[in-house]
Structures are given as structure tokens and as C-alpha cells.
């Protein structure tokens, strides 16, 4: 078994020479790879942990890290960077794991009955938990790090303003926000641009927090949040936004989602879809699907464009914020670590390891993998009065 893993680590050292590292086995055997100061030490604490990694890929690694079968000292993201190399990509799931994963995916499909449970699995961990490491606005999506942003709070406000400008928001307009989270976008758009609006979520925690916040800001009920599935929304709106929700729709429901978008927007209305995605269609990572986002699926830009085009939703602008999200995740991960002891006391060591791995692997995916963030502005039908350049995004 060691000969197999040694061959893999030698290949990784060759393919990524700027990441020297060391590996330690359960019997104390150690070996260093590469030259220079080591980025991390990977310790296999049991033979089973090594076997899991070799035979079960990312699912085996993630589970072994969660249960303490292996440890990583040093730069975790440098280790996760190896996951995107061909020699690691060749580590396939066993037939047994594939069967279990398929059953898991089928069980967690995002029909109306299942979507709420999928959302609650992740977003109803408690507002007190998320408050520990999110920014003041409780925004759990990619920030926008323009040249003036130095803090996460500033970058999230910059993101909201960036979106408001792309939507060409005007006072008195009605805005619908599908997957509104804790209400950050609605609160900013109402306070800074004078809109009215409704946000929708399936999370009880987000619903109660967002409405209380809007009341505290004296924006409610002109701006409010409702607890409802996007398929049940009714009404007409001047502007549409969805930030970080489309990843939970599932590719079999893309048509249903965009049918609803077209139905909600007035003729000529402007919308913006902000979503994590990929350039090449692929299955959801099995560890992420099992432990973090059941029912999640990352869309390709091509799939989004096709489904929009079939419904006369005309794309006007596309921006890839890949490195903005990597920096956002790094900020979250750093803040998460400052509250590690408190989180461990509340939720346990396995939970801390799970979320540490999730935050860092997500950041690594944006830096070295195929993960992207697409911000797609569009109109409901053709318009001829929008600016011809992007100068309006940066005007003071």
C-alpha cells in the first residue's frame, strides 16, 4: 500500500514542484517530497485512513479527515491543491460507494417536498453559528473586492452595490430576491436605492432573522421576506435577483426555474443571476453532496445561457468573480478559526473538521480547480435603452 501512495506523492511533487511536503504513517515512518520549506505535514493515523483515500477518493479523504483518521499540519489548501491533479483524479469511487451516492442523489432531488429539507440541512445550523464568522450583514455569498475594500464588510457592501448598478435600480421599483438569505441584498437595495421588495427563503432561521432586521431598519413591510418555494411565488416585479441560490435548483429543474423568472418579471424587466458554476459539466463532488450541500449541483454557463435563451431572457452582461470568491472564503476560514474553540464546544470536533475542510477546499477549487462564480445580467425580452458600455458600473 505504501508503494502505491509513494508513487502518487512522487508524481504530485513532480507536477506541483512549488509545494514541498512531508508524509507520516501510523507506524512513525516519514518521507519528504520536494525541495524547500515544507508547506504541510500529512499524517495517516491508521491504515484504514490510507486505504480510504486510495479507494474512495475525495469522499474517503473527507471522511478520514473528519473522524481523525488523518491529520494535516500546515497549509491545508496546499494539500487540497493536489486534488485537481490528474493522478488524484484517477482515484475513483468503489462500486459500493457509487451505489450509495446515486441513492443519496435521488433521495435529495430538489422537488418541492425535498428542497426545504436540503436547505435546512445547511442553513438552519443556527444564526449564532453563522454570526461568528460572517460579516455584519450576515451575507453568505461571494463578496466583491474592489480597490477600496479592505474588510469583508466593505466587500459585501461593494457586491450589493455592484449588483444594484447592474440592475439599474430606481426608487419605487419592486425587486424580488429568490434565495434571499438573511436579507442583506434587500436591506441594501431598499436603504440605498429606495426600492420595495420581497425576498424568499426556505430556511426558518433566515426568515425570522431577516424580517426582524428589516423591522429594526424601519424598512418592513415595504421590504419583507417570506417562507416559500420559488415555484409558489406569484406577482409582478420590475427587477429580479438571485444570489447563491441557483446551485440548489438541480439541472432537472432549470426550465422550471427560468419559467418562473420570466413569469415574475415585467416585460423589459432586468434581472441578475449570481451563481457558483463550472466550465465543464461534471457530477457534484461526493463529499460535498453527502455532508455539505445535499441536492446541490453546479451549472455550466452554457446550460444557463441555453435555458435563458429558450425563454427570451436576453443576457446583457456576464462576469466571472472566481478569485473574489476565493478571497471571500479565505476571510471566512480565518474568522472561523478564531472561533474554533467555541464552535467545537457547541457542535463537536468532527463538525469543526468538516467545516474547515469545506471552507478551504472550496477556496482551493476557485483558485486551482474548475469552480467559477458567474454574475449574469439579463432582460425579459429585448431592450434598447441600456448603456452601451460598463462605465456606469464605476461612475461616482
How do residues 335-345 score in pLDDT, each as one tens digit?
999 999 999 99
Domain boundary among 44, 59, 92: 92
Least confident of 87-96, 115-124, 170-179, 372-381: 87-96
- Which pLDDT band holds residue 92 (cuts at 50, 70, 90)? low
Distance CA 10, CA 349 (A): 32
Boundary-marking domain end, from 92, 125, 159:
92
Q: Are residues 217 and 356 in the same domain?
A: yes
Residues 49 and 183 in one domain: no
The verdict on 55 and 197 lying in the same domain is no
Name the percent of the chain lying above pLDDT 90.
83
> Which CATH number goes with the domain that contains 9?
3.30.1050.10
Q: Which residue has the higher pLDDT, 205 or 4?
A: 205
Q: Are residues 117 and 80 in the same domain?
A: no
49 in the same domain as 126: no
| 307 occurs within a structural domain | yes
Same domain for 177 and 62: no
Q: What is the CATH number of the domain that holds 338?
A: 3.40.50.150
- Which tens digit of pLDDT belongs to each residue from 167-179? 999 999 999 999 9
Among 92, 127, 143, which residue terminates a domain?
92
338 and 229 inside one domain? yes
Tell me whether residue 105 is in a domain.
no
Same domain, 88 and 122: no
Assess whether 196 and 321 both reside in one domain: yes
Q: Where are the alpha helices (DSSP H) in the chain?
A: 2-15, 47-66, 76-81, 86-89, 95-107, 112-123, 127-133, 152-166, 184-193, 204-216, 254-264, 286-291, 301-309, 322-338, 340-347, 349-368
Does the residue 173 lie in any domain?
yes
Q: What integer pLDDT is reported at residue 104 of this predicted model?
A: 47
Q: Are residues 140 and 204 in the same domain?
A: yes
- Per-residue pLDDT tens for 306-356? 999 999 999 999 999 999 999 999 999 999 999 999 999 999 999 999 999
pLDDT range class, residue 106, cuts 50, 70, 90: very low
How are beta strands 265-278 and 237-243 bridged, if at all? parallel
Per-residue pLDDT of 23-66, as tens digits, reads 999 999 999 999 999 999 999 999 999 999 988 888 999 999 99
Do the domain assignments include residue 116?
yes
User: How many domains does one find in the chain?
Assistant: 2
Per the CB < 8 A criterion, the answer to whether 116 and 206 are in contact is no
pLDDT at 116 over 70: no
Residue 102, judged by CB atoms within 10 A of its CB (0-12, 13-18, 19+), counts as exposed
Instruction: Give the pLDDT confidence of 207-259 residue by residue, as tens digits.
Output: 999 999 999 999 999 999 999 999 999 999 999 999 999 999 999 999 999 99
Specify if 102 maps to a domain: no
Least confident of 90-94, 145-149, 204-208: 90-94
The Cα 224–Cα 335 span in angstroms is 29
125 contacts: CB under 8 Å, gap ≥ 6: 205, 347
Looking at the structure, tell me whether residues 131 and 279 fall in a common domain: yes
Q: CB under 8 Å to 378, separation ≥6 — which residues?
A: 270, 271, 272, 273, 308, 313, 314, 315, 316
pLDDT at 280 over 60: yes
Distances (CA, A) of 298 to 245, 281, 293: 11, 8, 11
Q: Does 39 fall in a domain?
A: yes
Strand order in the sheet with 237-243: 223-227, 196-201, 174-178, 237-243, 265-278, 371-380, 313-320
pLDDT at 94 over 60: no
- Beta pairing, strands 70-74 & 40-44: antiparallel
Predicted confidence at residue 282, as pLDDT, reads: 85
The residue with greater pLDDT, 96 or 318, is 318
Residue 100 within any structural domain of the chain: no
Instruction: Answer whether residue 99 is part of any domain.
Output: no
Closest by alpha carbon to 54, among 18, 92, 101, 98? 92
- Determine the structural domain holding residue 37 and report its residue range: 2-92
Per-residue pLDDT, 89: 81
Both 253 and 366 in one domain: the answer is: yes
Angle formed at CA 144 by CA 151 and CA 184, multiple of 5 degrees: 80
Phi–psi pair at 383, nearest 5 degrees: -135, 150
- Residue 300 is given by DSSP the state B
Give me the pLDDT at residue 101, please.
46
Amino acid at each position: 500500500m505504501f508503494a502505491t501512495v509513494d508513487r502518487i506523492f512522487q508524481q504530485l511533487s513532480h507536477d506541483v514542484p512549488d509545494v514541498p511536503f512531508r508524509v507520516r504513517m501510523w507506524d512513525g515512518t516519514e518521507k519528504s517530497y520536494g525541495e524547500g520549506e515544507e508547506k504541510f505535514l500529512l499524517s495517516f493515523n491508521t491504515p484504514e485512513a490510507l486505504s480510504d483515500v486510495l479507494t474512495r477518493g475525495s469522499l474517503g479523504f473527507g471522511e478520514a479527515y473528519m473522524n481523525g483518521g488523518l491529520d494535516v499540519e500546515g497549509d491545508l489548501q496546499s494539500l487540497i491543491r493536489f486534488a485537481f491533479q490528474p493522478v488524484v483524479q484517477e482515484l475513483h469511487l468503489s462500486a459500493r460507494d457509487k451505489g450509495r451516492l446515486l441513492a443519496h442523489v435521488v433521495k435529495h432531488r430538489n422537488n418541492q417536498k425535498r428542497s426545504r429539507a436540503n436547505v435546512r440541512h445547511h442553513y438552519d445550523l443556527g444564526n449564532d453559528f453563522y454570526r461568528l464568522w460572517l460579516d455584519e450583514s450576515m451575507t453568505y455569498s461571494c463578496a466583491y473586492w474592489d480597490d477600496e475594500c479592505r474588510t469583508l464588510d466593505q466587500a459585501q457592501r461593494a457586491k450589493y452595490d455592484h449588483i444594484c448598478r447592474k440592475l439599474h435600480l430606481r426608487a419605487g421599483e419592486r425587486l424580488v430576491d429568490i434565495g434571499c438569505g438573511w436579507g442583506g441584498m434587500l436591506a441594501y437595495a431598499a436603504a440605498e436605492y429606495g426600492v420595495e421588495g420581497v425576498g424568499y427563503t426556505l430556511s426558518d432561521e433566515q426568515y425570522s432573522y431577516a424580517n426582524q432586521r428589516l423591522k429594526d431598519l424601519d424598512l418592513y413591510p415595504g421590504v419583507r421576506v417570506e417562507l416559500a418555494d420559488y415555484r409558489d411565488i406569484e406577482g409582478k416585479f420590475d427587477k429580479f435577483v438571485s444570489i447563491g441560490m441557483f446551485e440548489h435548483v438541480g439541472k432537472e429543474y432549470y426550465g422550471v426555474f427560468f419559467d418562473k423568472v420570466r413569469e415574475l418579471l415585467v416585460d423589459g424587466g432586468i434581472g441578475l443571476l449570481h451563481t457558483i458554476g463550472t466550465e465543464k459539466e461534471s457530477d457534484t463532488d461526493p463529499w460535498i453532496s453527502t455532508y455539505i450541500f445535499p441536492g446541490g449541483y453546479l451549472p455550466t454557463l452554457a446550460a444557463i445561457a441555453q435555458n435563458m435563451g429558450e425563454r427570451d431572457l436576453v443576457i446583457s452582461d456576464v462576469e466571472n468573480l472566481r478569485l473574489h470568491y476565493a478571497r471571500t472564503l479565505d476571510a471566512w476560514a480565518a474568522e472561523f478559526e478564531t472561533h474554533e474553540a467555541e464552535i467545537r464546544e457547541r457542535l463537536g470536533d468532527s463538525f469543526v473538521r468538516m467545516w474547515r475542510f469545506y471552507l478551504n477546499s472550496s477556496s482551493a477549487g476557485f483558485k486551482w480547480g474548475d469552480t467559477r462564480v458567474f454574475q449574469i445580467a439579463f432582460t425579459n425580452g429585448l431592450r434598447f435603452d441600456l448603456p452601451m458600455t460598463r462605465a456606469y458600473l464605476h461612475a461616482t
